[in-house]
Amino acid sequence: MTIGDVIKKYRKNKGMTQEEMAVRLGVTAPAVNKWERGNTLPDVALLAPIARLLGITTDELLSFKDDLTDEEISQYLLKIQKDLESKDFHDIFLSVKEKVEEYPNCEKLIWQAAVILDAKRMTIELPSQDKYDKVIFGWYERCLLSEDERIRNQAADSLFHAFIRQEDYEKAAQYLDYFSLENPDRKRKEALVNSKTGKRTEAYRAYEELIFSAYQHIQMTLNDLRILYMEDDDHEMARKLVEVSSSAASTFEMGKYNEICFGLDVAAWEKDIEWTAQLMQEILDSIGTISAFTKSKLYQHMALKTVDSNFSASLKRELLKSLEDESFNYMQGNEDWEKLKSDVY
């Protein structure tokens, strides 16, 4: 519905003639007639007075609609993607622009339509890219004001990468503030900007820190999952997760100690005498490698503290003392275990 259609509809609902409306607004009757026929548009300064006179909001006057359902958005975007395969990009762009103007408050529509058009135009040659930038980037900027964090982050991500492609790294960096300091994606983006602006050392260090923290997160998650399977008495999956944890430690070059320490809880839970004795011996023998990752080239730009010999010796003493724990009562009398215990005294 055009603005002229809206004026005509609500004017008639109010029982006003074009002449009466013109008098109330201080314009001529032919001016009202031209609005309703779509020949001209009201002056911007008249929009609020017209809306008040007709008893509607300015959004209703401009045919703005609040939102579309998720299903309606999905169906529309599917149609746009299909049309882009065979129809002229500019024509589709204009039709989407009209849709956005019809639903200017529908953030999901605006964000996803911008993403689709943005992605498509990168695959084809288009004249006057700037005119598309202005509109598409404007849609992203609008989404930065969304109350939905996901939409804000996605819009900021799109703008960040758009300016990275344009090699405007200073502008790209401005969108980092839309990501929380705890968000690993922010650090990754900072590293990318640093790598493009001559700060290579900072970029290397940031990437290495991301790898290191990702490993820690992976191991904590695997540990929690392993405990859950143990609570459900699933021995196969508990052992499987020990293998995965060990493989992860090896892949991330954490050292021998960190590769073998994960199985001890499961061995004790299963009361597996042979496995427990083997693991404890290997753990004690490899304590010196507990900080081997500090020498890995994967983390060569990080300032990692090595574990001193006093800590290693203290840890070994604690492990040897643990041989007497009740949790290892099932090991009493085992020859290998008793030999390990003799080292305590």
User: The domain at 3-61 falls in which architecture?
Assistant: Orthogonal Bundle (1.10)
**Residue 100: per-residue pLDDT:** 87
Count CA within 13 A, CB hemisphere, residue 34.
10
**Residue 106: per-residue pLDDT:** 87
pLDDT in tens, 118-176: 999 888 888 877 888 989 999 999 999 888 999 999 999 999 999 999 999 999 999 99
Nearest C-alpha neighbor of 340 from the set 259, 285, 286, 287: 285
Stated length of the chain:
345
pLDDT in tens, 239-278: 999 999 999 999 999 999 999 999 999 999 999 999 999 9
Specify the residue for token string 């010999």: 309
What proportion of the chain, given as a percentage, has pLDDT over 90? 68
User: Taking the domains of the chain in order of start, what are their residue ranges?
Assistant: 3-61, 70-196, 202-342
CB 273 within 8 A of CB 251: no
Give the rounded distance of the alpha carbon of 239 from its chain centre: 32
Nearest C-alpha neighbor of 157 from the set 191, 186, 130, 184: 186
Concatenating the DSSP letter of every residue in 177-244 gives: GGS-TT-HHHHHHHHHHHHHTT-HHHHHHHHHHHHHHHHHHHHHHHHHHHHHHHHTT-HHHHHHHHHH
CB 11 within 8 A of CB 54: yes
Q: Residue 59 pLDDT > 80, yes or no?
A: no
Q: Residue 320 pLDDT > 90, yes or no?
A: no
Sign of the CA dihedral 132, 135, 140, 141?
positive
Please tell me which residue, 1 or 137, carries the higher pLDDT value: 137
Buried-exposed string 165-185: b where 16+ CB fall within 10 A, e elsewhere? eeeeeeebbebbebbeeeeee
Specify the long-range contacts of residues 65-71, CB closer than 8 Å, at least 24 apart: 65/102, 65/103, 65/105, 65/106, 66/103, 66/105, 66/106, 67/103, 67/105, 67/106, 68/103, 68/106, 68/108, 68/109, 70/108
**Residue 271: per-residue pLDDT:** 95
**Residue 343: per-residue pLDDT:** 66
pLDDT in tens, 206-246: 999 999 999 999 999 999 999 999 999 999 999 999 999 99
Sign of the CA dihedral 160, 163, 164, 170?
negative
Mean pLDDT of the chain: 91
Rg of the chain's alpha carbons, rounded to an integer?
Answer: 33
What number of helices (H) and strands (E) belong to the chain?
Answer: 19, 0
- Residue at 31: amino acid letter: A
Q: What CATH superfamily classification does 70-196 receive? A: Tetratricopeptide repeat domain (1.25.40.10)
What proportion of the chain, given as a percentage, has pLDDT over 70? 97
Same fold, 3-61 and 70-196: no
Q: Residue 63 pLDDT > 70, yes or no?
A: no
